[in-house]
Amino acid sequence: MTRRTLTLALLLAVASGHVSGEDFDDRRIVDLTHAFDAETIYWPTDTQGFRLERLAFGETEGGWFYSANALCTAEHGGTHLDAPIHFFLGGVPIQKIPLERLIGPGVVVDISRQAAADSDYRLTTADVMTHEARSGPIPKGALVLLRTGWSARWPDVKAYLGDDTPGDASRLSFPSYGAGAARLLIEERQVAVLGVDTASIDYGRSGDFVVHRLAAEHQVPLLENLTNLDALPHTGFTVIALPMKIAGGSGAPVRVIAFLPASQ
């Protein structure tokens, strides 16, 4: 077994408690992360966007190739993780989020049909109950990922956010979680993380960011701007979401991946 395979197998073992290195080859990996580039979508008030400055690229005086860049990005753009400190004074920053929260069983709740009919749709408690009736109870410590279908609109800013006015977030329109459903998932199901394939864990027209505030007060991290949720089953997979470890950060770019049986 290679070191890489062993490392991944150990991560799976932490998440599920029963996955061994021997059956790692029977699993596949799905990348749930948008690449960062000039087209990366940021919250409208983060107007600087993503910048990658080339510092070196080419052959050195010593005769070998060398490449290096400098990058600049706001915390809350592209596929990223919101730390509880983002909306709660007593919330933990990025570097203090327990790793156990960021590795665990994944659940996809699919509201793409409802969202296609209503761009302001919010997940309801009835939607959660319907999901559980079909796929089983959402386990404690799950990373719940809400599929709206919005990632197919990336990187068209107006189609994705509902408005493309720089510096103005007052006319956005996209689906996400409703307060009641979020409360059920956080307080009763005791999930570890909430994630979504839109720009915010609150729907676009939200003026009070109630889901952000509720999650932050319960120290629940959030994943935003996910992609490829359509490649996942409703259950039966493992999620690993590791952000850049920014000391004091309210958010950070994150690489999110899912492991699932190759047969799924």
Cross-strand partners of 258: 30, 239
- Round the average pLDDT of the chain to a whole number and report it: 92
The alpha carbons of the chain give a radius of gyration, in whole angstroms, of 19
**Token digits of residue 107:** 């659940």
What average pLDDT does this structure show over 237-249?
98
CA angle, 235 then 241 then 242, to 5°: 165
Q: Does the structure show a pLDDT above 50 at 3?
A: no
Number of residues assigned to the chain: 264
Instruction: Give the N- to C-terminal CA distance of the chain in Å, as an integer.
Output: 24
Q: What is the structure's pLDDT at 1?
A: 40
Q: What is the pLDDT of residues 16-34, one digit of tens each?
A: 555 444 455 667 999 999 9
Q: What is the structure's pLDDT at 141?
A: 97
**Residue 222: φ, ψ to 5°:** -130, 140
Q: What is the pLDDT of residues 114-170, one digit of tens each?
A: 999 999 999 999 999 999 999 999 999 999 999 999 999 999 999 999 999 999 999
**Residue 242: φ, ψ to 5°:** -110, 110
Q: Does the structure show a pLDDT above 70 at 250?
A: yes
Q: What is the structure's pLDDT at 193?
A: 98
Q: What is the pLDDT of residues 209-241, one digit of tens each?
A: 999 999 999 999 999 999 999 999 999 999 999
**Token digits of residue 134:** 């079909």
Active site residues: 86
Q: What is the structure's pLDDT at 229?
A: 98
- What distance in Å separates the CA atoms of residue 203 and residue 230, rounded to the nearest whole number? 20
Q: What is the pLDDT of residues 47-76, one digit of tens each?
A: 889 999 999 999 999 999 999 999 999 999
Q: Does the structure show a pLDDT above 50 at 5?
A: no
CATH topology of domain 3-261: Glucose Oxidase; domain 1 (3.50.30)
Q: Does the structure show a pLDDT above 70 at 182?
A: yes
pLDDT band at 263 (very low <50, low <70, confident <90, very high): confident
